[in-house]
Structure 1
């Protein structure tokens, strides 16, 4: 089987091909149940591995689910997570978002929920952050470099720093995977709703307790067409030289 190529009108004429890929990379939640070849899946993971990793430690691992029986066991967990999201954070349209557009997005989320067992590929990026090697001399030098006030703040924000450090080692690879999927004509979207029941997901997939999971990425051939993303204009989000 070969992967289908979805045709679309260029949305970044005159720019690099990658720009066109990025500008048409919608979150695609309606997937065909058709199997994806192993070599195509390997291309996606290769793209992820090419992403940067803090200190080039490369402590990531990827769980790739294609077995229908495993997917069927994950589907009830997915439903619980999605229903929790839709009952809380996802209950109302974000400020400034058109209600009709939000309704279409919710319909796609519900479609994915109700057809999750038919998902061709599910990718779970994982990361185990190595234990830091600390010695008294290094700690003293760090405190001297930061100063006492900043050192105290740093000590109280360790949990946030750790989470961001881990995420910065994983999410660049995830973005690479999403770009590769779009370039290959595949639909995909990044979700983190599985974290509502992370222990149950890890238990079902045999993921070690000390390994953190960072996303659940369903991948498959799209039902429907790719199209331009809708985002805020650059002029609204840029603060030049200072806020």
Structure 2
């Protein structure tokens, strides 16, 4: 019987479990980084992993800003500090329900360490994406409304902004997860953050990102100060709803 604790490489149903499972189960968010540079060829491999991710309609309209220049990182550090402080003052002020307070305190300490040492970050990756303007003809709109029905068409009109954000995100985040797993596989520390969105205009200005592009994450990358280890997550039996909720 297969269990989530089956070690990588062991027999599962007569076949060896791929090492990817071991990678996924130990891919912690690593925020304490050494200042040592990460070779460009390794960063290129991370972006290659991201590019291999699925993209809606295979449009592949993603772009990745990779920052390694210490002067640029020093310019970004005050922005990072403002974003982190805003997060810790609001959303991140208290431990989520059910989370151990001590564990949350350790996470906050790591966030603060990363904030205070951001200028030493070896590399920062910013995934960007922008859908092209849709080409929808009147006949297509008629068939769209016919397929959904009047009530659902009206609902979609109300949530179009959310749908567009989800559609763009679905073209970016699979690649981001590939990048994070590739980093873990290469022994690099990385973590996904969204706090930069608090000051997205300032980040775009600092990095020369076109106004029409949307940014989806800020991912610090470097060699870890600590050790990788198993992630702590809810058990599968607790989160699965089979056939219906």
TM norm structure 2: 0.94
The equivalent of 2:71 in structure 1 is 69
Q: CA RMSD in A?
A: 0.9
**Could you tell me how far 1:45 is from its partner in structure 2?**
0.3
The equivalent of 2:218 in structure 1 is 216
Taking structure 1 as reference, are residues 83 and 234 closer, same or farther at Cα in structure 2, changes over 3 Å only?
same
Aligned partners of 1:16 and 1:56: how far apart in 2?
27
The equivalent of 1:112 in structure 2 is 114
* Pair 1:97 & 2:112 matched: no
Aligned partners of 2:207 and 2:82: how far apart in 1?
17
Q: Secondary structure at the match of 2:242?
A: coil
Aligned partners of 1:154 and 1:177: how far apart in 2?
32
Aligned partners of 1:52 and 1:82: how far apart in 2?
30
1:131-142 equivalences in 2 (<5 Å): 131-142=133-144
Aligned partners of 1:110 and 1:204: how far apart in 2?
23
**Could you tell me how far 1:88 is from its partner in structure 2?**
0.3
1:31-110 equivalences in 2 (<5 Å): 31-110=33-112
Where do 5+ consecutive residues of structure 2 fail to align? Answer: 1-5, 11-16
Which of these residues, 217, 223, 236, is aligned with residue 238 of structure 2? 236
Taking structure 1 as reference, are residues 123 and 236 closer, same or farther at Cα in structure 2, changes over 3 Å only?
same
After superposition, give the CA deviation of every residue in 1:137-188 in whole Å (9 maximum; x if it has no partner): 0000000011111111111110000000000000000000000000000000
* Pair 1:145 & 2:158 matched: no
Aligned partners of 1:238 and 1:99: how far apart in 2?
26
The equivalent of 1:4 in structure 2 is none
CA contact (8 A) 1:12 1:23 kept: no
Number of residues of Structure 1 aligned to a counterpart in Structure 2: 234
**Could you tell me how far 1:12 is from its partner in structure 2?**
4.2
Q: Secondary structure at the match of 2:244?
A: coil
* Pair 1:125 & 2:127 matched: yes
**Could you tell me how far 1:13 is from its partner in structure 2?**
5.6
TM norm structure 1: 0.95
**Could you tell me how far 1:16 is from its partner in structure 2?**
1.3
The equivalent of 1:206 in structure 2 is 208
**Could you tell me how far 1:24 is from its partner in structure 2?**
0.1
The equivalent of 1:156 in structure 2 is 158
Aligned partners of 2:175 and 2:57: how far apart in 1?
14
**Could you tell me how far 1:11 is from its partner in structure 2?**
5.3
The equivalent of 2:27 in structure 1 is 25
